[in-house]
Chains A and B, each alone.
Chain A
Amino acid sequence: MNALELKNLHKSFGKTQIIRGIDLAVTKGERVAIIGPNGAGKSTLFNLISGRFAPTSGEIWLGTHRIDGKQPFEINRLGLSRSFQITNIFPKLSVFENLRCAVLWSLGYKYTFFKFLADLDDANDLAEQYMERIRLGKKRDVLAMNLTYAEQRALEIGITIAGGAEVILLDEPTAGMSKSETLRFIQLIRQVTEGKTLLTVEHDMGVVFGLADKIAVVVYGEVIAFDTPEAVRSNPKVQEAYLGSAQAH
């Protein structure tokens, strides 16, 4: 059973083709890293899957639901959640409030305005749990805008997973972090996405080979390889197109 499947996906902005026919099937529980040179279309791919943009043509299936062209909130309700490359949190809300907002829909509270938040034990407990899991328990009432960069990145992940989605998309979760922060952060991501289907865009090769079960290599809007890390590493096409140039850096 595929958790996520892309069929002949295309996206153009004007005359520029960004995604040029991508087919990809991710099975449930798999961790997939998407790599590729800058401008290859990795972020666009995430934007298509998560509903930020509608694809020009092709299909996207989330389990048994066809989701291409749906609104982001509809896709989220079907069980797919994403994080952003540029930190995208609620700056004037506290850490706890950020997470509580993120759990509300999945617990069925919707647009309720005849219940007090303080009385929603399930939402409060769940938000507390996620706060501990992303290790921000001590920053509970700190406004998100006053957190350090690494803490904000952790909160970004927290908001993404708190809704309980089964398919998680992380867009460069370690962008802008130091080497040691990155290593710790990867541990955290591993823990909090346990048992979920994970897609991540990543630049750091060490991270990619450590975290992923499978790697998809995207070059010029096409997937040129989709296989285990070992197989991808020894794939001559990949070496030529991507790894070779990356190692030269």
Chain B
Amino acid sequence: MQSSATHFEFKPFNVARWVIWGLFAIILLLAPKAFSSNFSVSMLTQMGAVMIVCLSYNMLLGQGGMLSFGHAVYTGLGAYIAMHTLNAASNGVLPVPVSLIPLVGGIGGMFFAVLFGYVTTRKSGTTFAMITLGISELVFAMSLMFSGFFGGEAGISGNRVFGTPFLGITFGPPIQVYYLTAAYTFVCVALMYAFTRTPLGRILNAVRDNPERVEFIGYNTQHVRYIAFIIAGFFAGIAGGIGALNFEIVTAEVVGAARSGAYLLFTFLGGATFFFGPIIGAILLVLAFVLLSEFTKAWLLYLGLVFLFMVMFAPGGISSLIMMNLRLAAFGRLRHIWVAYIGLGLTALLGLAGVAAIVEMVYHLQLNAAMGPEVRFAGFTLNTELSHTWFGCLMLVVTGFGLFELARRQYLHDWGESQEFIEKEVKRREEAL
């Protein structure tokens, strides 16, 4: 069989793949060694959970072309189911070990995906997006109506330490929860990657590209979307269950539209076109929500700006930027362009520093004016009462972005040259075949 030797996936031992998955496992194992405070371990746990959510969301967005505005419904409801199960278990009503609570959350998420997905996945495109938005609002409204299940404003809390410890594992210390999360994260990421290489995974791509044609090669696109939606709901629910264990409290905001929006935004930011994009997005999400929000009150504004620029200039997200530059590197062209990158970076930094200084001063005037006219910003003290300060910042913005524009032109020129080179090279190699 000569033909089977040409299957590009048919590699008995794919070294690169083993290396990548091995590295992923090692990073998961060693991360708490590098960041060992309880606070950072809790953050790492959140990252693991959000990775699962964003990847499951990308099953819809990147792989299936389904723009959902309500993915938090499935993580959130999964979290509630997990929390109620945890409470039942700690009261001795249900014999469920703590280590399986995330799985219970997954089943919960899947259950609601079966229920709501039946309606949402009947349609695609804008209609799909609108229905998911509707369901998201519906569930959030219900959280105020059914306070028995949702726990009202206080939410539902629980205790993950109960019963006799197994092999000394109580799940009391955050580090133990982290390793449970890491195990779930690794398995879920591997399973979701595997999904992209199955018949359904590929047909889902076809449905994204051209749903009409899929109907003419024997597939019911509604079924394809529905099954994918259920699978995505399952993984989302697992992440919800992890969140419930990590925080030991679940409040109604976990099903809210803001949470759904965050998943959408950061999946997009990480990049929906490559499998690993949402992993980057998830890390950024946790960093932004936990760290950036500590640094500045204006963090949502910065987030909005980043998202805006990303959509305009790099719609493929960070992962596509990485892949584009890896391609450049593979053809040995990166050394022709790195100077331009430094130029872009420095000038952007200059302009952004100016913008950020102005934003911080405005926020200070609005929120903290009573604390005096001075703001600390990036090691400098800015006085909001002096017109110099404002003028200086404005100059910084103008100069920064002026130079940035020049750097950008140079960069585009270099980039175009490199692309031309690569295209010629590809053609040459093709002809050499």
Q: Which of B4-12, B140-148, B413-421 faces chain A?
A: B4-12
Measured CB to CB, the nearest residue on chain B to A96 is B8
Q: Is A113 a contact partner of B217 (Cβ separation < 8 A)?
A: no
- List CB contacts (< 8 Å) of A80-129 with chain B: 81-82, 84, 88-93, 96-97, 100-102, 104-106, 109-118, 120-121, 123-125, 128-129
Q: Assess A102 versus B199: contact at CB under 8 Å? Given A92-B209, A125-B1.
A: no
Q: Which residues of A contact B425 (CB under 8 A)?
A: none
Report B-chain residues with C-beta under 8 Å of the C-beta of A160: 216
B206 to chain A: which residues have CB within 8 Å? 90, 93, 101
Give the complex CA separation of A149 and B6 in angstroms: 25
In the complex, what's the smallest C-beta–C-beta distance from A118 to chain B, in angstroms?
A: 4
Instruction: Check if A118 sits within 8 Å of B231, measured CB to CB.
Output: no
Closest to A94 in B: B8
Min CB–CB distance B241 → chain A (angstroms): 22
Question: Which parts of B398-424 form the interface with A (CB within 8 Å)?
Answer: none
Do B6 and A111 have beta carbons less than 8 Å apart?
Answer: no
The docked-state distance in angstroms from the alpha carbon of A141 to that of B433 is 14
Partner of B197, one of A93, A116, A123: A116
Of the candidates B4, B206, B224, B433, the one having the most CB atoms from chain A within 10 angstroms of its own CB is B206
B199 engages A125 (CB within 8 Å): no
Are B7 and A124 closer than 8 Å at their CB atoms?
Answer: yes
Please indicate the chain A residues that have their CB under 8 angstroms from the CB of B217 in the complex.
73, 76, 81, 101-102, 104-105, 159, 162-163
* Known contacts A76-B218, A113-B201; A88 and B210 CB within 8 A of each other: yes
CA distance A73 to B200 in the complex (A): 16
Residue A71 is within 8 A (CB to CB) of chain B in the complex: yes
Give the residues in chain B near A129, CB-CB below 8 Å.
3
* A93, A101, A106, A115 interface centre (most CB from chain B within 10 Å): A101
Q: Let me know if A140 is at the binding interface, CB within 8 A.
A: yes
Within 8 A of B (CB), among A198-224: none
Interface size range on A against B: 35 or more
Chain A positions 58-72 with a Cβ under 8 Å from a chain B Cβ: 71-72
B194 within 8 A of A: yes
Q: Could you tell me the distance between the alpha carbons of A100 and B202 in the complex, rounded to whole angstroms?
A: 9
Contact A159 B213 (CB under 8 A): yes
- Chain B residues contacting A81 (CB-CB under 8 Å) are 216-217
Chain B: number of interface residues, binned into ranges: 35 or more
- Assuming the A-B contacts A73-B218, A82-B216, are A112 and B200 also in contact, with contact meaning beta carbons closer than 8 angstroms in the complex? yes
Using a CB-CB cutoff of 8 Å, which residues 200-237 of chain B contact chain A?
A: 200-203, 205-206, 208-210, 212-220, 223-224, 227, 231
Is B198 part of the contact surface with A, judged by Cβ < 8 Å?
yes
Q: Do A111 and B227 have beta carbons less than 8 Å apart?
A: yes
Find the B residue at minimum CB distance from A75: B216
Bound: A116/B4 CA distance, A:
15
Contacts of A128 in B (CB 8 A): 3-4, 6-7
Look across to chain A and name the residue whose beta carbon is closest to the beta carbon of B11. A118
For the complex, is B302 an interface residue (Cβ under 8 Å from A)? no
Asked whether B10 lies within 8 Å of A90 as measured between CB atoms, the reply is no
Q: Cβ of B275 < 8 Å from any Cβ of A? A: no
With both beta carbons as reference points, the residue of chain A lying nearest to B195 in the complex is identified as A113
Residues A105 and B213 in contact in the complex (CB < 8 Å), given A92-B205, A115-B198, A125-B3: no
User: Hey, which chain A residues are within 8 Å of B208, CB to CB?
Assistant: 92
A152-163: CB near B (< 8 Å → 1, else 0) gives 000000011011
Q: Mark B1-39, 1 if CB is under 8 A from A, else 0.
A: 101101111100000000000000000000000000000
Q: CB distance A105 to B210 under 8 Å? A: no
CB contacts (< 8 Å) of B6 on chain A: these are: 128, 140
A106 touches B218 (CB 8 A): yes
Q: Assuming the A-B contacts A104-B199, A120-B199, are A88 and B212 also in contact, with contact meaning beta carbons closer than 8 angstroms in the complex?
A: yes
A-B CB contact pairs (8 Å), 10 listed: A73-B218, A73-B220, A90-B205, A106-B218, A110-B199, A117-B202, A118-B10, A124-B3, A140-B6, A163-B218
Q: Which residues of B contact A (CB under 8 A)?
A: 1, 3-4, 6-10, 194-195, 197-203, 205-206, 208-210, 212-220, 223-224, 227, 231, 433
Q: A88-B212, A104-B217, A140-B6 are in contact. List 13 more A-B contacts (CB 8 A).
A: A76-B215, A76-B216, A77-B218, A88-B216, A96-B8, A102-B217, A109-B199, A111-B203, A114-B198, A121-B4, A124-B3, A159-B213, A159-B217
